[in-house]
Amino acid sequence: MRLLLVILALCAVITTSIKIRESKNFLEDNRVPLLKKENNGHGTSQFTYKYVSICINGTEENLLDIVHAKQCDDKESQVALGRFTNQVNTTGWGILEVETFPGHAYDVQAYAAGVAEGELTRQLIFYHHKNTVQDMCKNHTIYCKRLYKYLTKNLDWLRSQVLMQPPTDLFWRHVNLTFAQMTGIYDAYMHRNLTPEIGFDLSPIMMIQLSGELFDLNKYLNKTPDPQEYPEAGRCSGFVKIAPDNKDMFFAHVAMSSLSWMIRVLKLYKFAFDAKEVPGHTVSFSGYPGQLASADDYTLTSAGLGSIETTIAIFNKSLYSDTYIKSEGQVHCWLRSTISNYLTKTPKEWVQLFSRYNSGTYNNQWTVVDYKQFKPGHEIPDKDMLWILEQTPGSIKTQDVTWFLKKYSYWPSYNVPFIKEISIEAGFSEK
């Protein structure tokens, strides 16, 4: 019994160690990060990487240092390694890879991963923020007061749940880890002291995460439509296709938006987490500067899962009410999808976990495929290889559609609900 208590204590040390600070509103701070002058801000035709190592300070253990090298002077002090190349001129993409190392608490790893990203992609984050959300309140002051009030309440509720729930609740532990990573991005982006903390803050980095949520929050909070902003949701396509004789399986997605969203980053996060507890400890996705979820969405995980989504328009405006969208008791889509990618190993588990705390925002049809179930040249299984989830404010439905893929050799996703109840609730039957 005594040995068990010691083991549990050690596990607690490894999984969490950072202070959760009081929430702050950094949107009131009009400062911008100091940007280094670059010879070519659009990247280079030479495929070279910049490296940063995030190291525990040699004299103060609660302080991290950024070292522009592949290793720390003391290898044991290295928490994270990041590398980045800006290939906008050649491929249209930046490429970011961040890896953390064992022997450090999970939240320290997450914070350090964020620091590496904030340091390496600071300029792109600055441009992306300027292009997408910096002027979102221009001529919309009343709307933004309502939005910030709603977001502040939601962030305070998330923080309270993290403090309240036991460490064994993996969902809330990973809410905490995600905000640790976001805090690290912001601290490095703004050249703040790198004392690991977790903030459930209203910040420019937080606003970047909300790109998809704003499709629906704008309507719920009665924002006057602005033609200069990004277009309406509902212009994406997803596709799963089985090759002839079952020789291969293709998993594709197309996301369409305005030119303001054209700064793209292909990302890889590799965390030194327990693979049994966190089967999706490594994720790769098409993303945007400073954004922790794909938002297209297109994500592959170390658990052998692939997830994509296309957005469902809500024509039934009565769903945009306080009955279905609340600042407390709900978790935004970007956060639920991030956690589902990390914590699940089957499509069924993915849709079940995502179904918790429906926020009624970024209402999508999600398609989740299990590559582990696909064997080239062999027959497609009868079930559990392909699941979908469809969401409206107040409702989530899921379905195993492996049968469809097996029968037709493809699965299409094009912003139209497949499940009849969702189609009716969203108002498609009236169109």
Taking the alpha carbons of 387, 158, 233, 221 in that order, is the dihedral positive or negative? positive
Band (pLDDT 50/70/90 cuts) for residue 32 is confident
Band (pLDDT 50/70/90 cuts) for residue 29 is confident
Q: Which two tokens stand for residue 43?
A: 């990247």
Which fold is adopted by the domain 216-255+307-321+348-430? Penicillin V Acylase; Chain A (3.60.60)
Instruction: Indicate whether 250 pLDDT > 60.
Output: yes
Pairing assessment for the beta strands 93-100 and 249-254 based on DSSP bridges? unpaired
**Domain boundaries along the sequence of the chain:** 24-209, 216-255+307-321+348-430
- Distance of alpha carbon 322 from alpha carbon 120, whole angstroms: 40
pLDDT for 40 equals 57
Band (pLDDT 50/70/90 cuts) for residue 50 is very high
Band (pLDDT 50/70/90 cuts) for residue 247 is very high
pLDDT for 141 equals 93
Instruction: Indicate whether 53 pLDDT > 90.
Output: yes
Left if phi > 0, otherwise alpha if psi is -120 to 50, otherwise beta: which for 409? left
Q: Is the distance from CB of 188 to CB of 138 less than 8 angstroms?
A: no
Band (pLDDT 50/70/90 cuts) for residue 42 is low
Q: Give Cα 282 to chain centroid, integer Å.
A: 13
Q: Is the distance from CB of 178 to CB of 335 less than 8 angstroms?
A: yes
Instruction: Indicate whether 54 pLDDT > 60.
Output: yes
Mean pLDDT of the chain: 92
Question: Within 10 Å of residue 289's Cβ, how many Cβ atoms?
Answer: 27
Band (pLDDT 50/70/90 cuts) for residue 16 is low
- How does pLDDT run across 123-160, given as a tens digit for each residue? 999 999 999 999 999 999 999 999 999 999 999 999 99
List, in sequence order, the alpha helices (H) in 106-140.
106-120, 122-132
Instruction: Indicate whether 336 pLDDT > 80.
Output: yes
Min mean pLDDT across 39-48, 57-66, 384-393 is at 39-48
Arithmetic mean of pLDDT, 196-215:
96
- Distance of alpha carbon 400 from alpha carbon 275, whole angstroms: 26
Which fold is adopted by the domain 24-209? Penicillin Amidohydrolase; domain 1 (1.10.439)
Instruction: Indicate whether 33 pLDDT > 90.
Output: no
Instruction: Indicate whether 9 pLDDT > 50.
Output: no
Arithmetic mean of pLDDT, 101-107:
97
Instruction: Indicate whether 6 pLDDT > 50.
Output: no
Q: What is the DSSP letter of 313?
A: P
C-alpha angle 191/195/197, rounded to 5°? 105
Arithmetic mean of pLDDT, 76-82:
97
Instruction: Indicate whether 69 pLDDT > 50.
Output: yes
Give the chain's end-to-end CA distance (angstroms, integer): 64
- Distance of alpha carbon 163 from alpha carbon 159, whole angstroms: 6
Looking up tokens 């009624």, which residue turns up?
Answer: 360
Pairing assessment for the beta strands 305-311 and 282-287 based on DSSP bridges? unpaired
Arithmetic mean of pLDDT, 277-296:
98
Most distant CA atoms of the chain, gap in Å: 66
Q: Which two tokens stand for residue 107?
A: 């939240």
Q: Peptide bond before 297: cis, by omega within 30 degrees of 0?
A: yes
Q: Please indicate whether residue 45 or residue 336 has the higher confidence score (pLDDT).
A: 336
Band (pLDDT 50/70/90 cuts) for residue 10 is very low
Arithmetic mean of pLDDT, 4-26:
62
List, in sequence order, the alpha helices (H) in 361-413.
402-408
Instruction: Indicate whether 163 pLDDT > 50.
Output: yes
CA separation (Å) from 353 to 72, 301, 337, 357, 396? 38, 16, 9, 9, 12
Instruction: Indicate whether 13 pLDDT > 70.
Output: no
Arithmetic mean of pLDDT, 294-310:
98
Instruction: Indicate whether 39 pLDDT > 60.
Output: no
- Distance of alpha carbon 298 from alpha carbon 253, whole angstroms: 7
- Distance of alpha carbon 339 from alpha carbon 214, whole angstroms: 20
Residue 105: partners with Cβ closer than 8 Å, 6 or more residues away: 13, 14, 15, 16, 17, 18
pLDDT for 257 equals 85
Phi and psi at residue 248, to the nearest 5°: -155, 165
Arithmetic mean of pLDDT, 302-314:
98
Instruction: Indicate whether 385 pLDDT > 60.
Output: yes
Please give the share of the chain, as a percent, with pLDDT higher than 90: 83
Arithmetic mean of pLDDT, 3-28:
62
